[in-house]
C-alpha cells in the first residue's frame, strides 16, 4: 500500500497580528463566567452591552423587509440611499447639521468597524495618532493594524476628563495625523460642550490633524443636557468625521449599524476600503435602520431617562455606603474611584470574589484609568442597588 506522508503546514501569522493589543476584557469575562459556574448569583456590570430589547416597530420592519426579494441580492456597495438620507435627516433634526447623503455619509457594520478602518485609511506605518487615556480600546486596534504610533492624551478629573491640548508638546502635535475623541465618554461618563469642540477644531486645524469624534453615546445625556455633536462646530466637517451608531441609541448592538459622517474626503476613503472588505449590510437591516432613524423618537428619550433613573439609584446607594464619586453627565457608565489601598484590578477581583459583582478595572482602558473601576448601568434599578449594597457590606468605604 502507498502510504502518503501526513500533510503538515505550519501557520505563520503576519507580524501585524502580534502587534494587536491584548484583549484585556476577555480575562474579565472568563473570571465572571467561572464565578457563575460555581452557582453564584453574579451581577455583571463590567461590560457595555445594552440590556433592553430593540423597540418593536424596528423589529417588525425587519421581519417584513426580510421577505423583500430585492434584499436577497447583493446590496449596493456603499449602502442604500434611503438609509444615508435617513441618518442625514436625523442629524438635521437633532443637531441642525447638514449632511450630503452621498458624499458625507458612509454606512458601517457598527461604529467599531469604522473606528478601526479610519486608521487604516489615514495612517502610514510610524504615523502618530493621538488617543484618549483612558479610552475605548478599539482605537488602539486600528492604530496597531496600520502600524501607527499612539501618543496618549490623559483624561483626568481635574480637567473634566477632557484632553488638555495645551499640554501636548508641539513636536508631537505636529507629527500627529489623526486623533480620537469620545463624548459622552466611555469609560468616564464625561460630556463635552461646544466650547471643547471649538478648541478641538482649532487645535486640529493648527496642526493638520484629522479628527475622529466617537459619538456612540450621543443620545444619552442627563440632567436635561443634550450632548452636543462635534459636527455642530464651525469648521468640523473640514477637520474630521463623527462616528454614530444605532447600538446604544436604539438598543441595536447586535444589528451592527453605524455611520461615519462629515468630511467628504474621509468618507470617500472609508467607502473605498469597505468596497474591498464588504458589500454593505443586508438590505432588510438597512430598511429597519432607516425606520429607527425616521420613525418615532420617543423611545430614545425614554431610554435616556431610564439610564438617568438607574444612575440616580446607584448614586443614592453609593452615598449610603460612603463611596464618593462624581456623577456621569451622559453615557451609561459610572467611573468610580477605588479605595487608596487597592489597584483597579485588585479591587475588581475582590468585589467579584466576595460580592459577586463584576466591574471593569480602569487599567484596561489605559494607564490613566488606574485608580478607577467602570460600572455599567446595565441592570434593573433593584439589581444595581443590590450590587452596591453587596459591595458596601465588604466594609471598604466610609
Ligand atoms: N465607541 C464606544 C466608545 C463604545 O463604547 C462602543 C461600544 O461599546 C463603540 C464605539 C462601538 O459601537 P458599535 O460597534 O456597536 O457601533
- Residue 27: the pLDDT is 84
Q: Are residues 202 and 332 in the same domain?
A: no
Please report whether residue 397 resides in a domain.
Answer: no
Q: Are residues 95 and 187 in the same domain?
A: yes
Name 340's Cβ contacts closer than 8 Å, sequence gap at least 6.
none
Please report whether residue 130 resides in a domain.
Answer: yes
- Residue 2: the pLDDT is 67
Q: Is 245 in the pocket of ligand 1 (CB under 6 A)?
A: yes
Which residue's alpha carbon is at the smallest distance from atom 1 of ligand 1? 216
Q: Are residues 100 and 45 in the same domain?
A: no
Please report whether residue 9 resides in a domain.
Answer: no
Please report whether residue 318 resides in a domain.
Answer: yes
Domain membership of residue 178 as a residue range:
56-294
- Residue 7: the pLDDT is 87
Q: How many domains does the chain have?
A: 2
Q: Are residues 219 and 161 in the same domain?
A: yes
Residues 16 and 214: beta-carbon distance below 8 Å: no
Neighbours of 116 (CB within 10 A): 19
Helical spans, DSSP H, in the chain: 15-18, 24-37, 56-65, 81-95, 110-122, 138-146, 170-175, 194-207, 236-239, 246-249, 264-277, 283-294, 298-321, 344-355, 381-392
Rounded to 5°, the CA angle 216-220-224 comes to 145
Q: Are residues 267 and 336 in the same domain?
A: no
Rounded distance from Cα 187 to ligand 1 centre (Å): 11
Rounded distance from Cα 102 to ligand 1 centre (Å): 24
DSSP code at position 339: P
Q: Are residues 89 and 31 in the same domain?
A: no
- Residue 304: the pLDDT is 97
Q: Is the dihedral angle over the CA atoms 100, 103, 108, 110 positive or is it negative? A: negative
- Residue 23: the pLDDT is 78
**Which CATH number goes with the domain that contains 65?**
3.40.640.10
Q: Are residues 60 and 47 in the same domain?
A: no
Q: Are residues 170 and 288 in the same domain?
A: yes
Q: Which atom of ligand 1 is least distant from the CA of 185?
A: 3
Rounded distance from Cα 396 to ligand 1 centre (Å): 32
Is the pTM value of this prediction over 0.85?
Answer: yes
Among 258, 279, 294, where does a domain finish?
A: 294
Q: Is 331 in the pocket of ligand 1 (CB under 6 A)?
A: no
Rounded distance from Cα 138 to ligand 1 centre (Å): 8
Q: Are residues 330 and 362 in the same domain?
A: yes
HSE value, Cβ hemisphere, 13 Å, CA-based, for 242: 28
- Residue 189: the pLDDT is 98
- Residue 29: the pLDDT is 87
Rounded distance from Cα 237 to ligand 1 centre (Å): 21
> What does pLDDT average to in each consecutive run of 10 residues of the chain (398 residues)?
81 90 83 92 94 97 98 96 98 98 98 97 97 96 96 98 97 97 98 97 98 98 97 98 98 98 98 95 98 97 97 97 96 97 96 96 97 98 98 92
Q: Is 48 in the pocket of ligand 1 (CB under 6 A)?
A: yes
Q: Which of 106, 107, 112, 192 to mutate to test the pocket of ligand 1 (most atoms within 8 A of CB)?
A: 112
Q: Are residues 46 and 138 in the same domain?
A: no
Q: Is 116 in the pocket of ligand 1 (CB under 6 A)?
A: no
**Which CATH number goes with the domain that contains 371?**
3.90.1150.10
Q: Are residues 138 and 263 in the same domain?
A: yes
- Residue 231: the pLDDT is 98
Q: Are residues 213 and 333 in the same domain?
A: no
Among 276, 294, 312, where does a domain finish?
A: 294
Residues 376 and 319: beta-carbon distance below 8 Å: no
Which residue's alpha carbon is at the smallest distance from atom 12 of ligand 1? 111
Q: Is 134 in the pocket of ligand 1 (CB under 6 A)?
A: no
Among 238, 263, 294, where does a domain finish?
A: 294
Amino acid at each position: 500500500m502507498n502510504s502518503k506522508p501526513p500533510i503538515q503546514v505550519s501557520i505563520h501569522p503576519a507580524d501585524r497580528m502580534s502587534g494587536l493589543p491584548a484583549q484585556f476584557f476577555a480575562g474579565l469575562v472568563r473570571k465572571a463566567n467561572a464565578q457563575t459556574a460555581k452557582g453564584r448569583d453574579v451581577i455583571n456590570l463590567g461590560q457595555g452591552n445594552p440590556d433592553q430589547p430593540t423597540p418593536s416597530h424596528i423589529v417588525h420592519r425587519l421581519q417584513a423587509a426580510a421577505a423583500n426579494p430585492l434584499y436577497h441580492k447583493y446590496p449596493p456597495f456603499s449602502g442604500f440611499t434611503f438609509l444615508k438620507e435617513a441618518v442625514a435627516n436625523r442629524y438635521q433634526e437633532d443637531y441642525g447639521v447638514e449632511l450630503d447623503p452621498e458624499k458625507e455619509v458612509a454606512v458601517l457594520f457598527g461604529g467599531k468597524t469604522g473606528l478601526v478602518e479610519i486608521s487604516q485609511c489615514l495612517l502610514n506605518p510610524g504615523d502618530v495618532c493621538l488617543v484618549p487615556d483612558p479610552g475605548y480600546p478599539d482605537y488602539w486596534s486600528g492604530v496597531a493594524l496600520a502600524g501607527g504610533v499612539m501618543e496618549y492624551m490623559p483624561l483626568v478629573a481635574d480637567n473634566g476628563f477632557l484632553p488638555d491640548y495645551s499640554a501636548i508638546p508641539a513636536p508631537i502635535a505636529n507629527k500627529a495625523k489623526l486623533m480620537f475623541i469620545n463624548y459622552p465618554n466611555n469609560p468616564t461618563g464625561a460630556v463635552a460642550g461646544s466650547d471643547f469642540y471649538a478648541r478641538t477644531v482649532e487645535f486640529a486645524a493648527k496642526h493638520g490633524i484629522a479628527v475622529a469624534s466617537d459619538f456612540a453615546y450621543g443620545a444619552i445625556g442627563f440632567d436635561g443636557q443634550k450632548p452636543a455633536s462635534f459636527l455642530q462646530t464651525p469648521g468640523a466637517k473640514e477637520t474630521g468625521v463623527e462616528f454614530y451608531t444605532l447600538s446604544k441609541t436604539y438598543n441595536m448592538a447586535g444589528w451592527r449599524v453605524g455611520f461615519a459622517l462629515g468630511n467628504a474626503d474621509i468618507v470617500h476613503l472609508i467607502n473605498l476600503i469597505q468596497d474591498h472588505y464588504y458589500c454593505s449590510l443586508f438590505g432588510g437591516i438597512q430598511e429597519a435602520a432607516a425606520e429607527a432613524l425616521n420613525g418615532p423618537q420617543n423611545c430614545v428619550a425614554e431610554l435616556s431617562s431610564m439610564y438617568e433613573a438607574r444612575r440616580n439609584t446607584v448614586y443614592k446607594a453609593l452615598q449610603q455606603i460612603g463611596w464618593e464619586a462624581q456623577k456621569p453627565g451622559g453615557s451609561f457608565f459610572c467611573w468610580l474611584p477605588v479605595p487608596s489601598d487597592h489597584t483597579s484590578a485588585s479591587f475588581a477581583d475582590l468585589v467579584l470574589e466576595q460580592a459577586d459583582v463584576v466591574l471593569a478595572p480602569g487599567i484596561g482602558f489605559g494607564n490613566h484609568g488606574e485608580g478607577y473601576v467602570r460600572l455599567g448601568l446595565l441592570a434593573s434599578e433593584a439589581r444595581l442597588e443590590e450590587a452596591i449594597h453587596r459591595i458596601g457590606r465588604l466594609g471598604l468605604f466610609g
